[in-house]
Amino acid sequence: MKKNAVVGQSGGPTAVINASLYGTVYEALNREDEIGTVYGMINGIEGFLNDQVMDMAPLEESKELELIRTTPGSYLGSCRYKLPEDLNDPVYPQLFARFEAYNIGYFFYIGGNDSMDTVSKLSRYAEKISSDIRVIGIPKTIDNDLVETDHTPGFGSAAKYVASTVREIAIDASVYDNKKSVTIVEIMGRHAGWLTAASALARKFEHDNPVLIYLPETDFDQDAFIEKVRTSLETTPNLVVCISEGIHDNTGTFICEYSNDVGTDTFGHKMLTGSGKYLENLVKERLGVKVRSVELNVCQRCSSSMLSKTDQKEAIASGAYGVKAALNGASGKMVAFERLDGDDYQIDYVLKDVNVICNQEKCVPATWITADGSDVTEDFIRYARPLIQGEVTVPTEDGVPKFAYRK
């Protein structure tokens, strides 16, 4: 008897997480000799626990599946549910009883670090009870912080959005030449500054805006920052500065904590916001120049207007590769990208042990950050530029994007 497959999405969405869903579902539906029904988990593993699933086949028949490719957000809905560390917890037999009830033989989870933690726990529990279910992780995250992979689906499109938006901000800031001004752009990134580093791709020439870029990989010194802004204003009167939300000082204190009480999310991560506003007030107080802060916020991950064709193509391929890997017997693995040597950008799709990946963070290499911590090097530019290449035409209706909506 053929086994069925189930796929879910977890964590923060990206502009191409649904492209990965498309790749997974399309490949699984077209393996009808090997896979029976293809189910979607509504709101991830948490929804599956509550018996919230849908049959994905009607989406292909109605052409909705094609529309999913260019729809941002998580079509199936997401969750931030953390499975217990103890594999003896009663939730595990409950989950596997549901797998058995739905005759699930293949489990695919699209997500980032915490999602790979779920993949790790489910695959380890399956091994513990000698279950033959195959558990595969499909990577995604705009943060680009998963280890064991060159980059992650979602980063390329978010990087393209950041670079394009920062270039637009820089053009807007340059229209008045008679007064000095500072624009501080706050970009997502808790401990890894990949996305903030991508703002360097906005530059049209050497020393163009953003002149200063600060990542959480280095300690942030407020006095040194003010002095750097002061001297930079002498040559760039309409200065643009890009910072990660997670910049911190040498004590480990987030800069935003100097002005806000910071709460925590369900995974115990501090919810960071306000670094840009704090530095706006600091510059205003210390230098007395016109200053404003811009927080890009969720637009970095929900915009379909600047999709990277490279990113979308790789997201679709990673989902399809995960299905092929499961059918070949793989489990407890995550689909990863290996960049090939050579002048032309190419990658291979490979499998990596998810137990090595989960609960780890890949930061921007120190050698890709300038010695004073205020910029990135050409090595980062060479790494990131291929990932933002190519445009995607998003279907429109009445002048606005036409997206897929789950009824």
Integer Cα distance of 318 and 312 in angstroms: 10
Q: What interhelical angle do 275-287 and 222-235 show, nearest 10?
A: 70
Binding site annotation covers 245?
yes
Listed in order, strand segments (DSSP E) in 346-386 are 347-353
Binding site annotation covers 129?
no
Residue type, 179: K
- With a CB cutoff of 8 Å and minimum separation 6, the contacts of 284 are 291
Q: Is the dihedral of CA 279, 268, 74, 116 positive or negative?
A: positive
CB atoms within 10 A of CB 398: 5
The 10 Å CB-count burial string (b at 16+, else e) for 313-350 is: bbbbbbbbbbbebbbeebbbbbbbbeeeeeeeeebebe
Binding site annotation covers 31?
no
H or E element at residue 311: helix 309-327
Binding site annotation covers 187?
no
Radius of gyration of the chain (CA): 22
What does the DSSP 8-state code read for residue 213?
E
Pairing mode, strands 347-353 and 290-295:
unpaired
Binding site annotation covers 247?
no
Q: Residue for token digits 């997206």?
A: 403
Residue type, 156: G
Q: Where are the alpha helices (DSSP H) in 102-221?
A: 113-128, 155-173, 194-197
Residue type, 305: S
- Report phi then psi at 269, rounded to 5: -80, 140
Integer Cα distance of 379 and 367 in angstroms: 8
Binding site annotation covers 11?
no
Map residue 181 onto helix, strand or coil.
Answer: strand
Binding site annotation covers 71?
no
Binding site annotation covers 80?
no
**Residue 266 Cα distances to 80, 108, 162, 263, angstroms:** 7, 23, 27, 10
Binding site annotation covers 375?
no
Omega of the bond prior to 216 within 30 degrees of 0, cis? no
Integer Cα distance of 139 and 176 in angstroms: 44
Q: Which residues are catalytic?
A: 143
Binding site membership for diphosphate: which residues?
12
Binding site membership: which residues?
12, 113, 141-143, 188-190, 245
Binding site membership for Mg(2+): which residues?
113
